[in-house]
């Protein structure tokens, strides 16, 4: 093999499809972080301000970074729950109803048991997580025992959850005004709210479950091939049921952070989580057919979504441009991650 052929072969290996798919989300995030300050600088320069530097960009400020992480924290928890389901090759669309129910149950219990974390009201935190896990468990039962496709079963459960939240609240808002609980947002460590650190701790827990437990490895086994998993003696139904239950628990954590962020629980607390979480998981590089991806991919995806939303607000672009950009990113992510030679029909 001559030198030119060897160099060409190494270049093809370096730019292989697998490598591109693996690193593309992170590269997209880096490009976005650099691109929005550039747009802002160009806009200021066109307005006649010749003394603006890229590093002075509003986008690069600590305050703006905190805004991005505050917005990302609840969405990350919900997206992590979705990640476990998608790794198994299923889909969960119940997050909006589950988040709303968990938020409302938490708020009612919190107020009824004292209204402050210094009283028995702290029990409302695990109760909310248990409610989320229970809804995920029921979601999994409906999917598995009734043989209903996961997207349809979970969508129905999402509607049930939204209706239940509306029944409990009567359309009203429940305010959670305990200063200690609200310190999730108001208390800052190194310029970032406590809720950002809480989200990171749960991210580490999710990573541990995914990579260091038998359950996490079983998720990948089921997503990699259900028939093969069955043949190896794995109880696929039990793994799926545990996956949906775990996802519901993470949806509940997202609900708690959402209430901590705005201090209000209502039927609309879960609104928009479906779009954001599914988009983040797909854009982050987790394959829709299962077996590929993980929670770190989801972190990158959530940051991409929130950086786009934040950056376009900073440079003054309308909301429809944000949604259109995210839609194009989802299409690009699916195209990149799909082996068109091995997929004869895309559902």
pLDDT of residue 331: 78
Cα angle 59, 37, 297 (rounded to 5 degrees) comes to: 75
Q: In this structure, how many other beta carbons lie within 10 angstroms of the beta carbon of residue 172? A: 12
Q: What is the pLDDT along the chain (347 residues), one digit of tens a residue?
A: 555 554 455 455 555 556 666 778 888 888 888 888 887 777 666 666 555 555 567 778 888 899 999 999 999 999 999 999 999 999 999 999 999 999 999 999 999 999 999 999 999 999 999 999 999 999 999 999 999 999 899 999 999 999 999 999 998 999 999 999 999 999 999 999 999 999 999 999 999 999 999 999 999 999 888 888 888 888 999 999 999 999 999 999 999 999 999 999 999 999 989 988 998 998 888 888 888 889 999 999 999 999 988 888 877 777 777 778 777 877 777 776 655 444 443 33
What tokens were used for 200? 């990171």
d(CA 287, CA 220): 11
- Helices 95-112, 236-262: axis angle to 10 degrees equals 60
What are the residue boundaries of the structural domains of the chain, listed by start? 76-273
Contact between 97 and 159 (Cβ < 8 Å): yes
Q: What are phi and psi of 114, to 5 degrees?
A: 130, -25
**CB neighbour class for 217 (10 Å; exposed up to 12, middle 13-18, buried from 19):** middle
Q: In this structure, how many other beta carbons lie within 10 angstroms of the beta carbon of residue 158? A: 25
Closest C-alpha among 321, 298, 300 to residue 309:
321
Helices (H) and strands (E) in the chain, counts: 14, 4
pLDDT of residue 347: 39
- Helices 295-314, 319-337: axis angle to 10 degrees equals 150
- Helices 273-284, 295-314: axis angle to 10 degrees equals 120
Closest C-alpha among 221, 210, 200 to residue 299:
200
pLDDT of residue 225: 83
pLDDT of residue 346: 39
Helix or strand run (H / E) with residue 226: helix 226-231
Contact between 91 and 151 (Cβ < 8 Å): yes
- Helices 194-212, 214-224: axis angle to 10 degrees equals 70
- Sign (positive or negative) of CA dihedral 69, 269, 204, 27: negative
């Amino acid at each position: 093999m001559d030198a030119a052929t060897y160099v060409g072969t190494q270049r093809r290996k370096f730019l292989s499809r697998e490598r591109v798919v693996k690193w593309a989300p992170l590269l997209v995030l880096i490009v976005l972080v650099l691109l929005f300050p550039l747009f802002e600088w160009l806009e200021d320069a066109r307005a006649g301000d010749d003394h603006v530097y890229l590093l002075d960009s509003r986008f690069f400020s600590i305050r703006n970074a905190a805004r991005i992480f505050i917005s990302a924290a609840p969405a990350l928890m919900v997206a992590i729950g979705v990640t476990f389901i998608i790794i198994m090759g299923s889909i969960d669309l119940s997050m909006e109803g589950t988040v709303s129910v968990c938020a409302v149950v938490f708020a009612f219990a919190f107020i009824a048991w004292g209204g402050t974390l210094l009283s028995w009201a702290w029990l409302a935190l695990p109760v909310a997580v248990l409610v989320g896990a229970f809804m995920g468990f029921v979601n999994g039962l409906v999917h598995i025992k009734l043989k209903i496709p996961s997207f349809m079963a979970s969508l129905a459960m999402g509607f049930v959850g939204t209706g239940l939240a509306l029944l409990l609240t009567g359309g009203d808002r429940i305010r959670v005004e305990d200063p200690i609980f609200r310190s999730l947002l108001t208390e800052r460590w190194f310029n970032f709210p406590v809720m950002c650190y809480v989200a990171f701790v749960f991210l580490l827990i999710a990573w541990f479950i995914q990579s260091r437990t038998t359950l996490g490895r079983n998720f990948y086994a089921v997503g990699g091939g259900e028939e093969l998993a069955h043949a190896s003696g794995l109880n696929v139904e039990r793994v799926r049921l545990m996956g949906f239950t775990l996802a519901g628990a993470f949806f509940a954590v997202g609900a708690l952070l959402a209430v901590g962020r705005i201090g209000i629980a209502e039927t609309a607390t879960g609104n928009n989580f479906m779009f954001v979480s599914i988009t983040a998981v797909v854009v982050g590089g987790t394959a829709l057919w299962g077996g590929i991806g993980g929670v770190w991919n989801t972190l990158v995806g959530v940051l991409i979504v929130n950086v786009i939303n934040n950056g376009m607000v900073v440079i003054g672009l309308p909301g429809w441009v944000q949604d259109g950009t995210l839609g194009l990113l989802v299409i690009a992510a699916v195209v990149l991650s799909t082996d068109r030679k091995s997929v004869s029909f895309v559902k």
